């Protein structure tokens, strides 16, 4: 990371499906799949999936704030998750798949809280918005085979994105916003 760039960390279920929506935008330097929010240093995928480490699958996004704002990252985040489901995301269930925005400073916390309130007030969802907003914890990159999964395993990625229910949920709840991009 250079002094000009910043990072954001978001958990929204399976990290495979959280990379591409950010990675394909101008101003994104890198998107790393990994684990955060737990109590075990340098956890493995196998450890995290047991649900005993306290970690969530997350993405760490390095970005250029002169090209893309944190607010735009938040908009992208909301449009990739089911913010009404605190127990996982789509086909993936359990704490390691819970939706969380991890803030790095007071400004990020304020912007995340405001965006959550705006989404709640929008009436887009009938149920309450339950996504957590928590302080950042150490982020540990996942194993190499998880990185850029949508590029390395296109067919499986696309099948998983549809089969998990994520793609259908996004089409149902966000088509009006997506078509305006």
Q: Is residue 118 a part of any domain in this protein?
A: yes
Each residue's pLDDT tens digit, 100-153: 999 999 999 999 999 999 999 999 999 999 999 999 999 999 999 999 999 999
Give the whole-angstrom CA distance, residue 137 versus residue 38.
8
Q: Which domain holds residue 53?
A: 6-175
Q: Is residue 180 a part of any domain in this protein?
A: no
The number of domains in the chain is 1
Q: Is residue 1 a part of any domain in this protein?
A: no
Q: Is residue 181 a part of any domain in this protein?
A: no
Query: Among 174, 107, 95, which residue's Cα sits nearest to residue 135?
Result: 107
Give the whole-angstrom CA distance, residue 11 versus residue 101.
6
> Could you confirm whether 14 is annotated as catalytic?
yes
pLDDT at 180 over 80: no
Each residue's pLDDT tens digit, 49-103: 999 999 999 999 999 999 999 999 999 999 999 999 999 999 999 999 999 999 9
Q: Which of 8, 11, 14, 28 is catalytic?
A: 14
pTM (2 decimals)?
0.94
Residue 132 maps to which CATH number?
3.30.1060.10
């Amino acid at each position: 990371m250079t002094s000009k760039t910043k990072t954001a960390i978001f958990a929204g279920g399976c990290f495979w499906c959280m990379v591409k929506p950010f990675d394909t935008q101008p101003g994104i330097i890198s998107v790393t799949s990994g684990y955060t929010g737990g109590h075990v240093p340098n956890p493995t995928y196998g450890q995290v999936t047991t649900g005993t480490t306290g970690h969530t699958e997350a993405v760490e996004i390095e970005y250029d704030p002169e090209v893309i704002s944190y607010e735009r990252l938040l908009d992208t985040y909301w449009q990739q998750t089911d913010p009404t489901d605190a127990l996982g995301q789509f086909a993936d269930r359990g704490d390691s798949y819970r939706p969380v925005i991890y803030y790095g400073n007071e400004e990020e916390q304020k912007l995340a809280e405001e965006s959550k309130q705006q989404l709640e007030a929008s009436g887009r969802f009938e149920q309450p918005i339950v996504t957590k907003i928590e302080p950042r914890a150490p982020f540990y990159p996942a194993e190499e085979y998880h990185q850029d999964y949508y590029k390395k395993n296109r067919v499986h990625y696309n099948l998983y994105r549809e089969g998990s229910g994520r793609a259908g949920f996004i089409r149902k709840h966000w088509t009006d916003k997506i078509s305006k991009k």
